[in-house]
Amino acid sequence: CYQQDDWSKWLPMAEFAYNNATHSSTRQSPFETLYGRNPIFDSIHVLPSTPASNYLLNIKQLQEQLRSNLEAASQCYKQQDNKLCLQPPTFNIGDSLSERKLDPIKIESVVSKNSFTLSLPLKWKAIHLVFHVSLLEPAKRLYPGQTHPPPEPVNVQDHLELEVSRILDARLRKGKLKYLVEWAGHQSDEDRTSWEPANHLLNFPDLVQDFHSAYPHKPLQH
């Protein structure tokens, strides 16, 4: 083992060994990145007070120890990273994704192994269609009788609002237009649908337009 009182003398060699070692992130040494090649150790730079043979032997041993330490540290970092960085799930076109306060969504196309284009409803047309794999989660298969929990209300202009899945019907009552809406995520019949005044659907103009395009004979609010 090297003496503990002469470490400052070996700092230049430690720096040289570090800069001459291949780094896991760049796959090359800092010297290669900066100069395009690794320099060769020049044996003529010796301390005048140290016999050349002893000095060179110490240098060689120090280089081997530093190289070994760097490799051990690199393996340690790799093992820690592997514990934290899990393999991303594999998705295919047509797979269902778990809801993120939204209904389960279908994958429309695969951009890359880490990016996917989703088939989003018209009501979310302002959302970019390509999502990173870290934002996606496979939809879980439900057991018989099991239902998805209803989504949390969405914050719209500082007030909470439930997501509407679709409009099922329309009617006029006392001159006022009402829509039969289906709420996203609610499975029981009593909670899934309700009649709502037209002004409750101001944030869902695409759903209203889709409904009246499909059922032009249904009443409209004038």
- Give CA 6 to chain center in angstroms: 48
Burial code (b: 16+ CB inside 10 Å, e: under 16) for 100-127 equals eebbebebeeeeeeeebebebbebeeee
What residues does CATH 2.40.50.40 cover in the chain? 154-214
pLDDT reported for residue 179? 92
CATH 2.40.50.40 assigned to 154-214 = yes
CA gap 181, 207 in Å, rounded:
10
pLDDT reported for residue 164? 79
pLDDT reported for residue 39? 77
Contact 55, 48 (CB under 8 A): no
CA gap 204, 181 in Å, rounded:
11
Contact 165, 184 (CB under 8 A): yes
pTM: 0.32
Helix axes 11-19, 52-84, angle to 10 degrees: 50
- Mean pLDDT, consecutive 10-residue stretches, the chain (222 aa), reads 62 78 74 76 52 64 69 68 57 58 71 79 66 73 54 45 79 90 65 83 87 90 68
pLDDT reported for residue 177? 93
